[in-house]
Structure 1
Amino acid sequence: MTTLPPTERRNPATADIDLLPTLDLLRAVNAADAEVPATVARALPVLAEAVDAAVAALRGGGRVHYAGAGSSGRYAVLDAAELAPTYGLEPGRFTAHLAGGAGALARAVEGAEDSEPDGRSALAEVEAGDVVLGLAASGRTPYVAGALAAARGAGATAVLVSCNPQAPLADLADLHICTDTGPEVVTGSTRMKAGSAQKLVLHSFSTAVMVRLGRTWSNLMTEVAATNAKLVGRKLTILTQATGADEETCRAALRATGGELKPALVVLLTGATPTAARVALRAADGVVRAALAELARRP
């Protein structure tokens, strides 16, 4: 008999879940959810390797790709979509590939995950120097197998994100980020504990990559794209929080830099001209702390 992955096994702790009063049912779900952060914590050393590989790829002109099916793929699409407005990331640097295409975001296309050729095709443009994260809770999804095989074939770094310590796809990956969440509250419903673990991994991964690339100063966004009123206000708030200057001074700095947050921040922190701030930022690959250090060294 085929050995089931942990995510597909029955959970003895919830065998009577359909008999529980509503509050107790919710407590059972909550108790299971509370186990997830510890599983992610155990995977952090490997996750750190994946972050460093992605930072090197992006600094070298490469790209990061997510590939997944079902819930895993949807989480990947959501995570990648947030990076442009939050960190000003250029289009195409982080790309999510979902089995079944865009239509699978709102409607399940369950058969799409069974096609290894589709996974290979989705990653046909991957190049050496890129990083590919394949997400599969069970660690055996054919679509993800195809994506990882394409990554390996192109000389890219292949990373598997799974909840199965014995994942068959681990052999196709250079790194295996494993969060062993065990059986679900409802058997096989991997949008639950497994899905929560994958979301935590993705959020941690992409956030750490952006921080390492200098897309923050301290814990403040420095390349937020002001595409709506809320984000326009956030730019001003960030400047006041970072510098202690009043709002009018921060508005003036933004006007002087054409609305660009990073140069405005450097101007306010150092007293440099907008031109000098931009020159220092270019020399520092856009990293604010490095630009500040460079300006501090100048006579």
Structure 2
Amino acid sequence: MEIGHLTTEQTNPASIAIDTLSSLEIVQLMNQEDRRCAEAVEKESAAIAKAVDLIADRMKRGGRLFYIGAGTSGRLGVLDASECPPTFNTRPEQVVGIIAGGSTALTTAVEGAEDDENAAAADLQKHHFDSGDVLVGIATSGRTPYVVGGLQYARSLGAICIGFTCNPESALERHCDFVIAPVVGPEVISGSTRLKSGTATKMVLNMLTTGTMIRLGKTYGNWMVDLRATNIKLKARSIRIVSALTQLDSHAASILLDRCNGEVKVAIVASQCNAPPDRARELLRQADGSLRRALQLGSSESANP
């Protein structure tokens, strides 16, 4: 499909005279248009859920999740991947974001990087991408050569390939197992896909990693019990979570966390099952990292000594 025919390249009738509006009217118009993002993402719920299940299954077997993209798409993939270690205590290599043009492209446009169809395969090879991994190719246009090339390479290995675009009937469909395609309509500034398309992309990536991590037992209810306390804010959050789930006061929760190397789930199991940290870790190992199941196992042990 020619670029001029893409939905994301069309002129938005609602913003045809945006340069004549007041600042308040511009903000209101953009807010009104942004509402379309949630509606478009909602229509893709089944595809997003399918992706979550596939990613979680592969990660349980030791596989990894990769995002590739160019420009805004690539930056959002890198952002989502970089937030997984502190939020869910994943290893940096478990969720990887790759952007056309490399790290320089995160802050500076790298001319022509998105047009190099062979570069993505080389970038994936640097990370030893293989058939047990999952690749999400992000291209709001649905036709970015770098992303298409990456999907072709991943598919040749037998990996799961998922496409993301904000245009219907895109070229990505021929190169992946299925596509997530929230069609948000023409942008407020024609062709500026960092706007609604970028917002929809961020929403979907949030769902992919958060849904996957929930499936992997990284949460308990809506508490992020597998977080890595790498700063003062996260240390305080760890104490608050342990305190809330054990009924210990903040001081006692802090002491317990110190005994448990700062591991939130270990501290909770140790408290609730009256177990030393090493036994708490063993219960979590037996429960595949699920705090809920580990607490059940510990409760059964207490009931049947």
Q: TM-score if structure 1 supplies the norm length? A: 0.97
Q: 1:156 aligns with which of 156, 159, 172?
A: 159
Mapping of 1:48-127 within 5 angstroms?
48-124=49-125, 125-127=128-130
Alignment deviations for residues 191-223 of structure 1 (CA, whole Å, 9 cap, x no partner): 000000000001111111111111111111122
Q: Structure 2 counterpart of 1:34, which letter?
A: R
Aligned counterparts, 1:202-241, within 5 A: 202-241=205-244
Structure 2 contact 229–262 (Cα < 8 Å) conserved:
no
Question: d(CA) in 2 for partners of 1:274 and 1:96?
Answer: 34
Give the Cα–Cα distance (whole angstroms) in 1 for the partners of residues 291 and 79 of structure 2.
28
What percentage of residue pairs aligned between the two structures are identical? Answer: 41
2:163–2:180 Cα contact (<8 Å) kept: yes
Root-mean-square deviation (Å): 1.3
Asked whether 1:189 is paired with 2:192, we answer yes
- Pick from 246, 250, 253 the counterpart of residue 250 of structure 1: 253
The amino acid of 1:120's aligned partner reads A
Query: Residue 51 of structure 1 contacts residue 209 of structure 1 at CA under 8 Å; is this kept in 2?
Result: yes
Task: Identify the residue that residue 33 of structure 1 maps to in structure 2.
Answer: 34
Aligned to 2:77, the other structure's residue is in SS state helix
Aligned-partner SS, 2:91: coil
Q: Which runs of 4+ in 1 moved over 6 A?
A: none
Aligned to 1:296: 299
> Which residue does 1:275 correspond to in 2?
278
Alpha carbons of structure 1 residues 26 and 251: separation in structure 2 relative to 1, 3 Å:
closer
Q: Counterpart of 2:268 in structure 1: which amino acid?
A: L
Q: Shift of the alpha carbon at 1:248?
A: 2.4
For residue 103 of structure 1, report the CA deviation from its aligned partner. Answer: 0.2
169, 172, 191: which one pairs with 1:169?
172
Structure 1 residue 110 displacement after superposition: 3.9
Structure 2 residue identity aligned to 1:96:
G
Alignment-mate amino acid for residue 175 of structure 1: F
**Please, which runs of 5 or more residues in structure 2 have no aligned partner?**
none
Q: Which moves more between the two structures, 24-33 or 196-205?
A: 24-33
Aligned residues: 299
**TM-score between both structures, scaled by the size of structure 2:** 0.95
3-state SS of the aligned residue for 2:235? helix
Give CA-to-partner distance per residue, 1:49-70, whole Å, 9 cap, x none: 1111111111111111000000
What is the aligned partner in structure 2 of residue 265 from structure 1?
A: 268
Moved more, 106-115 or 94-103: 106-115
Structure 2 equivalent of residue 129 of structure 1:
132
1: CA distance, partners of 2:284 / 2:47: 31
Q: Which residue of 2 aligns with 1:24?
A: 25
Provide, for residues 58-90 of structure 1, a one-character-per-residue CA deviation record: whole Å limited to 9, x for no partner. Answer: 111111100000000001111100111111101
What amino acid sits opposite 1:93 in the alignment?
Q
Q: Which consecutive unaligned segments of at least 5 residues does structure 1 have?
A: none
Amino acid at match of 1:112: A
Q: Secondary structure at the match of 2:96?
A: strand
